[in-house]
Amino acid sequence: MGMFVVKRVLLMIPTLLAISLVAFLVITLPPGDYIDRLVLEASLDGDYITAAEAEGLRKIYGLDKSVLAQYFDWIWKMVVHGDLGRSFSYELPVEELIWDRLGMTTLLSLCSMVFIWTVAIPVGIFSAVRKYSLGDYVATFLGFIGLAVPNFLLALVLMYVSFRYFGQNVGGLFSPDYVNAPWSFARVGDLMAHIWIPMIVLGTAGTASVIRTIRANLLDELHRPYVVTARAKGMPEHWVLTKYPVRHALNPFVSSLNELFVQIVSGSTIVSIVLGLQTTGPLLFDALRQEDMYLAAALIMFLSFLTVIGTLFSDILLAWLDPRIRRQFNNGGL
Amino acid sequence: MKPMINVTDLSVSFSGDDGKVTALDNISFSIPEGKTVCLVGESGCGKSVTAKALLRILDNHAAIESGRIDYTQMSGEPLNLAEGPAKAKHIRAIQGNEISMIYQEPMTSLSPLYTIGNQIVEVLRWHTNLSNDEAKFQAIEMLRLVGIPSAADRFDSYTFELSGGMRQRAMIAMALICNPRLLIADEPTTALDVTTQAIILDLMRDLQKTRNMSMLFITHDLGVVADIADEVVIMYLGNVVEQGPVEQILTNPQHPYTKGLLASLPHTDGKRRARLNAIPGVVPSLQNRPKGCPFQDRCDHFVTGLCNEKLPELTAISDVQSVRCHGFGAQADLVPLHASTSQVDDCLHAPNPVNRTAAPILELQNVSKHFPIRSGFFNRQTGTVRSLNDVSLNIWRGETLGLVGESGCGKSTLGQTIIGLHKATTGKVLFRPNEEEVELTGKTDSQLRPYWADIRMVFQDPNSSLNPRMAVYDIIAEVLRVGQELKTRKDIEGRVLEVLDKIGFSKEFLKRYPHAFSGGQRQRIGIARALAPYPKVIIADEAVSALDVSVQAQILNLLKDLQEELNLTYLFISHDLSVVAHISDRVAVMYAGRIVELADTETIFNTPRHPYTEALMSAILEPVPNAHGDDTRIRLQGNVPDPANLPKGCPFAPRCRYSSGICESSDPALGEISTDHLLACHHPDVVQNTPVDQLEAMAG
């Protein structure tokens, strides 16, 4: 098991390097760069930047070198100095911009995950055990609605409802007073008061699909011989269910945890823009529009990093849950 | 004898999309204290439903309609188990405690996610007040009692870390942990090798004796019945059709179904070439239960106006035996039960005309198949699974070669290596379809493709070897479309109809999908698919193992007929020795990936020379009561060696009762000891020459 974790962590290094390279190349792929953009904007404002000035700027920003040289510069500074480059449009070091945002994204995604689990797992179990009951139909119906309604629409509706009927301004993750305040209990409380809307919005689609997954998995397991064996031991039914089929049904769910996480992270951009959230989504969106290459590359890289860690986490969880997989790990397979 | 459980007029129904159907129809029987009652019948006859009803663990769609299950509790108080909700507290107090159950497939009946110990201790937790340590102690004691070596370590093992026999022992330990008074065993040895089966049956018999436990033993294997039963209850389509003491049922069966079951069994003795007297047809589905006698459409003695009108009563024909047939009771004179049946002795198959002087159609020369084991950080090869070791074998045109051995001996690997599904590591496979000689080894798949029409496979499980989304026509036509000879649609259609006719299917079955057929019919489709491209050799890998005895007999007859008609060559792989004895001209015995003995069928079954063959043959259970009274059967301890870790010397030596110094140091080569009799043993005469009393001393 320890061996497995070490192996996987070591494998992450080439994976991350590959991701960083791809991220950087993708950003630099479109024709033109930030300086071209500055020239264009200046000319729109009636201002004027000469070609020589532009070249000078390129030199300052290091944009005159080849793409690979820029990439290696960037990586080198990152590894040695922890310097992620400078955001052109914000005129700030990238690291000052993204940590908060990454933290918020992680927090929001984790909250959504927990929301999904706490709602979907019990409902899924209920749906399977009481197959074709009224409750199953209601859960299925609501689940399909959850799947079908676009997230941003749900966000708008929830915003409207809470503003119109509860008089609460729910945009953003903080009330205006707390946006730039230092961390305190009050600020955490304010965050909690705001985070539930994006959490629900981001969680609905996931909840619906997890209900379906759990239901289908559990229906497969409910009639397995080991369930009959457990029942024949004279245990109460709820104990039989939770110890045996439910535990088995969680397996495929756990192995797909990471996909769920990716869905939440990448699906949150539009919702974040609509709700005005201080997460990575809107920042990345702007960075891409403005060809703010270091900012965009760093964001893409760290988001990918999150997913890689998520994969590792769900694999370890799976091994912990399932002795068969643990054995494969120990035997050096996988 | 005081009955422990009395089942009276018990009826169980299943509700489904088409409404309610009767699964058990007023069945009555009782289980005496300390005795074993065997429930016998083919699949779909209601054996497992009966067991589940007794323990009140029926599936959700099944319900007890009426009847009583009178059980005398440990405390002496009577209790009707059929009454009240299945999940009631007083029922749960009985489940797993006073009545417990073991199942056919311990691999699926135990959860792989919890340790054996956890699943055993759990029973104690619900039924006793023992502390964790005490419970663990008792569980380990129980594991020791059922013969699991180093029980304390195995307590923390998972199911997939144990062999089949050990898993079944763990299951038995789990069932017995609370000292039940009744043990229900649902086909507990069906999934095991014959050698392991013998040991598990011994174990169950011993445990029963020392605990004065009653057993309800469900099986379709009449050999097992003869071995373990005191009383037998024969079931057909949810009815009890005959019941009585085991001697009566097996030696003096009265109901046509009981007789038919016995007649369907392949024989290992002199009659083995006889065509099997298979019961025609299959057990109807519950939806199609006929009015009147359930067995009417398969019965030779059917009388119109009686059998299809009225369900016969269960009639006592002696103090102990009763039969549900119109041939007995009030209207007995209407049913000519003792008139001759279709059993005709002159349909003995002539021995297949095999010309062994010609070049064999398949020739294996020193074939080995080794799989690498990779592990560690860089996936280096750290070991080798030696599945096949130096196998040489000739199969002549028109003969049937049986291949036997315990599971894990490399039988299936051999079949798959011949046709190139596995590429042989070393050695040659030569194939002579006509005059020319082809070397199959060393060919790529695309080069092999033309020969895959000549050598075809029939698989064990017709459910998973037929594509459920293809109609019968397409399943068979598919193999013709990839072939070369038949080009036009019309040719292909003609050929499909031809093979369907061969397997006894009519035209209207063409457009149906596999799920519309019974297991036996599906296996016929599998055979038709194998036959379609005019093959010369058919490799049948456990082709009848998943079928009921009556259907198995039908398929065996079909295979024999096809062989005579088309001069087919069969390689017949099976763990069921009596089936192999029935169909084979010669038999090869495999152990640890090599052939240890090869001779004609009579020699292998009557005068085996290899100790392993001897042990296998002695584990066959004949359906003759008390045949094993003075039991000299060989109990083969231990397991087939791990092909990744074969012992030095003769691989059978660790389990061989004759082994001596040389066996542990050198591996005997396969050599000819007489004409057409090959043997790999350092002591070729030891099996014949060791007198019985000396064996008993060795066993003691």
Answer yes or no: do A225 and B57 touch at CB < 8 A. no
The pLDDT of residue B573 is 94
Pick from B110, B127, B382: which is nearest to A226 by CB? B110
Alpha helices (H) along B128-189: 132-145, 151-154, 164-176
Mean pLDDT is lowest, of A7-11, B150-154, B249-253, B347-351, for: B347-351
| Other residues' Cβ atoms within 10 Å of the Cβ of residue B177 | 26
Pick among A233, A250, A321 to test the B interface (most B CBs inside 10 A): A233
The pLDDT of residue B271 is 54
Pick from A231, A233, A327: which is nearest to B123 by CB? A233
Answer yes or no: do A327 and B92 touch at CB < 8 A. no
The pLDDT of residue B693 is 58
Q: What average pLDDT does this structure show over B139-147? A: 92
Q: What average pLDDT does this structure show over B178-206? A: 90
CA distance B164 to chain A (A): 16
Q: How far apart are CA A198 and CA B430, in angstroms?
A: 70
Mean pLDDT is lowest, of A152-161, B239-248, B570-579, for: A152-161
Q: How far apart are CA A276 and CA A283, in angstroms?
A: 11
Measured between beta carbons, which residues in chain B are less than 8 angstroms from residue A320? none
Tokens of B38: 């065997």
Portion of chain B with pLDDT greater than 90, in percent:
46
Measured between beta carbons, which residues in chain B are less than 8 angstroms from residue A323? 112-113, 115, 158
Low-confidence residues of chain A: pLDDT under 50: 334
Q: Are strands B239-245 and B322-324 parallel, antiparallel or unpaired?
A: antiparallel
DSSP secondary structure of A138-169: HHHHHHHHHHHS-HHHHHHHHHHHHHHHH---
Residue of chain B with shortest Cα separation from A331: B375
- What value does the mean pLDDT of chain B take? 87
pLDDT at B376 over 80: no
| CB-based contact, A238 to chain B, within 8 Å | no
Pick from A224, A228, A324: which is nearest to B57 by CB? A228
Answer yes or no: do A226 and B108 touch at CB < 8 A. yes
- If residue B324 lies in a helix (H) or strand (E), which one and from where to where? strand B322-324
The pLDDT of residue B377 is 63
pLDDT at B442 over 80: yes
| CB-based contact, B66 to chain A, within 8 Å | no
Answer yes or no: do A232 and B101 touch at CB < 8 A. yes
Mapping DSSP to helix (H, G, I), strand (E, B) and coil, where does residue B149 land?
Answer: coil
Pick from A3, A234, A331: which is nearest to B126 by CB? A234
The pLDDT of residue B392 is 93
Q: How far apart are CA B164 and CA B240, in angstroms?
A: 32
Mean pLDDT is lowest, of B347-361, B606-620, B648-662, for: B347-361
- Reported as a single tens digit per residue, the pLDDT across B311-329 is 999 999 998 999 999 988 7
DSSP secondary structure of B546-606: TS-HHHHHHHHHHHHHHHHHHT-EEEEE-S-HHHHHHH-SEEEEEETTEEEEEEEHHHHHH
Identity at B35, one-letter amino acid code: K
CA distance B109 to chain A (A): 4
- Reported as a single tens digit per residue, the pLDDT across B379-403 is 777 788 899 999 999 999 999 999 9
The pLDDT of residue B696 is 55
Q: How far apart are CA A208 and CA A143, in angstroms?
A: 4
DSSP 8-state symbol, B503:
T
Residue B118 — pLDDT band, cuts 50, 70, 90?
A: very high
Tokens of B376: 């560690």
Assess contact for B678 and B670: CB atoms under 8 A.
Answer: yes
Q: How far apart are CA B157 and CA B137, in angstroms?
A: 16
Alpha helices (H) along chain A: 2-28, 34-44, 51-61, 67-81, 94-129, 134-148, 151-166, 185-222, 225-231, 237-241, 247-255, 257-275, 280-289, 293-321, 323-330
ipTM over 0.90: no
Select from A5, A12, A1 the least CA-distant residue to A308. A12
Answer yes or no: do B113 and A223 touch at CB < 8 A. no
| Residue A232, CA distances (Å) to B103, B183, B405 in order | 11, 12, 35
pTM of model > 0.80: yes
Tokens of B510: 């063409």
Answer yes or no: do B108 and A224 touch at CB < 8 A. yes
Portion of chain B with pLDDT greater than 70, in percent:
93
Q: 């045996």: which residue's tokens? A: A244
DSSP H helix total and E strand total for chain B: 24, 24
End-to-end CA distance of chain B: 34
* Number of residues assigned to chain B: 700
Which of left, alpha, beta for B335 (phi over 0: left; psi -120 to 50: alpha)? beta
Answer yes or no: do A332 and B375 touch at CB < 8 A. yes
Pick from B101, B111, B160: which is nearest to A244 by CB? B111
The pLDDT of residue B61 is 87
Select from B406, B381, B378, B364 the least CA-distant residue to B644. B381
DSSP secondary structure of A222-258: HTSHHHHHHHTTT--HHHHHIIIIIHHHHHHHHHTHH
pLDDT at B346 over 50: no
pLDDT at B343 over 60: no
Pick from B52, B94, B113: which is nearest to A234 by CB? B94
CA distance A261 to chain B (A): 26
Assess contact for B543 and B523: CB atoms under 8 A.
Answer: yes
| Residue B155, CA distances (Å) to A188, A230, A240, B371, B622 in order | 49, 18, 21, 31, 36
| Other residues' Cβ atoms within 10 Å of the Cβ of residue B13 | 20
pLDDT at B269 over 80: no
The pLDDT of residue B369 is 93
Assess contact for B568 and B585: CB atoms under 8 A.
Answer: no
The pLDDT of residue B462 is 80
The pLDDT of residue B351 is 63
Answer yes or no: do B108 and A225 touch at CB < 8 A. yes
Answer yes or no: do B109 and A226 touch at CB < 8 A. yes
Q: 């305040």: which residue's tokens? A: A181
| Residue A270, CA distances (Å) to A276, B54, B285 in order | 10, 60, 57
Residue of chain A with shortest Cα separation from B184: A232
pLDDT at B77 over 50: yes
Strand partners of residue B597:
B589, B679
Rg over alpha carbons for chain B, rounded to the nearest Å, is 27
The pLDDT of residue B485 is 67
Answer yes or no: do A232 and B108 touch at CB < 8 A. no
Highest average pLDDT, of A160-169, B293-302, B588-597, comes from: B588-597
DSSP 8-state symbol, B348:
B
Q: 């009848």: which residue's tokens? A: B544
* Number of residues assigned to chain A: 334
| CB-based contact, A167 to chain B, within 8 Å | no
Q: How far apart are CA A309 and CA A315, in angstroms?
A: 10
Assess contact for B234 and B256: CB atoms under 8 A.
Answer: no
pLDDT at B348 over 60: no
